[in-house]
Structure 1
Amino acid sequence: MNAISRRRFIGSAAAASAIPLIGTSAHAQTDWPTKPIKIIAGYPAGGQTDLFARTYGEYIRAETGQNVTVENKAGASGSVAAVEAKRAAPDGYTLMFTISTTMIMNRVLIKDIAYDAEKDFILVSIMPAGSLPFVASEKTGAKTLDEFVAYAKKAEKVNIGTYGAGSYAHMAVAEMNKQYGLKMEAVHYRGEAPMWTDLAGGFIDGAHGSYSAALSVLQSGRGHAVAVSRKRMSTLPHVPSFKEQGATSRIFQLTGFQCCAAPAGTPADVIQKLSKLLVAGGKTEKVLKVMKSFGVDDTAMTFEETQRLYKEEAPVWLEAVTSLGLAPS
């Protein structure tokens, strides 16, 4: 079943990337925008998704002169927002800001999912969400990945915090166990705050999560970042990536992302206008300031770059989350 799902995904993702061009003349132009735009944010107010939606939305308002509102529809890993967004008219006036989990992993993690990310949406732009630090508890004495692995091999039991079953952090723990012959146990939390509190208290040996949530632990010295996913971060320039330290699995190089998506059938020229607005907005001082607060270095991708990345990495994400053997909930 897993192999079939992966083949189906690759084929349908390729088809989805062509949807904006189907039935649209090269000379046809949509007069957009001529009325207010609504952004549905898939996660609660104050988080990265919400702040990206509001900051990019503010830029779109300033550039187009049209009002942009953000509605938070949190729940079920972005599924609540996705179901509402897919029902909207495909005219560019309802957009969704969400994350890679909503667009990729939910099809494995959620039973009887009520939307099809491949058929119901067009990815307008991916905004990389930044590398995630793997933080060792102070009690381990580890300052590098090799030192942490050595600790984990000797310790009787090693618990690693993740921000949820099926999350990237969960995949990373499984991959570390596989590559280094470890038996670390993933401890799943509902959100990052309690996870970092437990790490600071020495109740877990390590944790994998976002830079912004881990910052207080790192500043206090209760935890030390021993590796980061994908590539070095400007906010943690001294911490090498997993790949630099010999962990070469593609899991450690995946791009977790925020994204802007539009209902399938949205005109191609509107998609391109949106993409250009988001790319330009990603270079503004306001957006860059928000990005820096989350340890994000990469700006919004063009439509073409977005399609390429999605096709390349989505099958890897799906294989990784499927291999965890989680029963859909």
Structure 2
Amino acid sequence: MRRIRRRSLVQGASLLAGAGLLSMPAAVRAQAAWPTRTITIIVNFAPGGLTDGIARVFGEYASKKLGQQIVIDNKPGAGGNIGAALVARAAPDGYTFLHTVSGTMVQNRVLYSTLGFDPDKDFVPVSATSSGELPVAVHKSVPVSSIAELIDYARRNKVSFGSWAPGSAAHIVCAKLNELYGLQMEVVHYRGEGPMWQDMGSGSLQAAMGSYQALRPLLVNGTIRLIALPARRRNAKFADLPTMTEQGYTHAAFSQFGWLGLFAPAGTPPDVVRRMSALWVEAADSEGGRKMYDTFGLHEKPLTHEEMAADYERLKARMLPLVRELGVKLE
């Protein structure tokens, strides 16, 4: 009987395994090895706000876990549409992600005649982090301490109200106050929170609304005063600050919620989406994540990609009617 040496069997098995790998589609081979190079997360707003901060801290955690560099690339403009369109056109290979506010994917479809992308068809949800409760603040030169007093003041004085983007929660709140109470507060839009709070600090804005971390320096030095929380609940960072509902303003526009979403281009391998989603959720419990949550006054853990997909539908149902009421169309 012919004897077959063990070494020949091992070599043959190796050749067959190699042939099997080579016969796999390129996308599948890349998925199995992901990541093998730098990952880019495009933030479609300027540095300095909550969207940018979460991307950097959570991205650093994911980078350490994956053993690959993650680069944050800020691409602000057109209410976030410029950065989102770049990611929509990127290869769905797990090396490009978008970190954005929910407004880019929800409100913008009503506000803009042309987006440059389809929010539902061009992206897959990965994970979402609550944007927290965003207070309304006034400059120290404005002698008000409640929404009722702001309404009375705005009837007699010029008020510029800061917003980080058209269709943002700040825009909706200001526009609805104007509509319901016959005011003419001017909404001033910025490319992110950072430049908005800079102008608030200089006194060129009388009111604004945004994240705790971004406004905190002005709050600490006494430049601004918080007057209300257009949210469903109070926030422990300013536990004595009443919601707008508690102040008697019960329209849905004054009880808002939203999130910061991590998206991948449609067609990104499901295993890559699940892995990145798991890391984003884990990041909230990391040392950097806990500090970030404390700094920003956040308390809700990130959503998995399945949870985010379901919440996305709820958010569209709630927000789209409010945005349509603005009657705004942008190019």
TM range (shorter): 0.7 to 0.9
3-state SS in 2 of match to 1:244? coil
How far does residue 161 in structure 1 lie from its aligned partner after superposition?
1.0
Q: Please show how residues 26-175 of structure 1 align to structure 2 within 5 Å.
A: 31=32, 33-36=34-37, 37-149=39-151, 151-152=153-154, 155-157=155-157, 159-163=159-163, 164-175=165-176
2:275 alignment partner in structure 1 = 273
Q: Deviations over 1:70-120 (max 9, x none)?
A: 333332222222222122232322211122222122222333221001100
> Which of 296, 303, 320 is residue 305 of structure 2 equivalent to?
303
Partner of 2:220: 219
Letter paired with 1:229: P
State the partner residue of 1:21: none
Cα deviation for residue 246 of structure 1 reads 2.8
Letter in 2 for 1:84: L
Give the number of equivalent residue pairs.
Answer: 297
Q: What TM-score do you get using the length of structure 2 for normalisation? A: 0.78
Q: Hey, what's the Cα distance between the residues in 2 that align with 1:266 and 1:101?
A: 22
The separation in 2 between residues aligned to 1:150 and 1:160, in whole angstroms, is 15
CA RMSD of aligned residues (A): 2.7
Q: Quick check: 1:41–1:98 contact (8 Å CA) kept in 2? A: yes
Greater CA deviation, 202-211 or 114-123? 202-211
Larger radius of gyration: 2
Q: Measured at CA, do residues 59 and 222 of structure 1 come closer, stay the same or move farther in structure 2, by a change above 3 Å?
A: closer
Q: Quick one: structure 1 residues 245 and 54, their matched pair in 2 at CA, closer, same or farther if it must change by over 3 Å? A: same
For 1:207 and 1:58, the matched residues in 2 are separated by 30
TM-score between the two structures when normalised by the length of structure 1: 0.79
> Residue 102 of structure 2 aligns to which amino acid in structure 1?
S
Q: Tell me the CA shift for residue 126 of structure 1.
A: 1.1
Task: Report 1:243-254 matches (<5 A).
Answer: 243-254=245-256
Q: Alpha-carbon deviation of 1:60?
A: 1.3
Q: Whole-Å Cα distance in 2 between the matches of residues 189 and 127 of structure 1? A: 23
Q: CA deviation at 1:158?
A: 5.0
1:270, 1:165 → 2: CA distance?
32
Contact 1:157 1:184 in 2 (8 A): no
Distance 1:328 1:197, change over 3 A: closer
Equivalent residue for 1:183?
A: 183
Structure 2: distance between partners of 1:70 and 1:201:
29
- Give how far 1:187 is off: 3.4
- 8 Å contact 2:147–2:247 — kept in the other structure? yes
Gaps of 5+ in 1: 1-29
Equivalent-residue separation in structure 2 for 1:197 and 1:60 (angstroms): 31
Change in CA separation of 1:290 and 1:176 when aligned onto 2, cut-off 3 Å: same
Rounded Cα–Cα distance in structure 2 between residues aligned with 1:146 and 1:45: 33
1:122 Cα shift?
A: 0.9
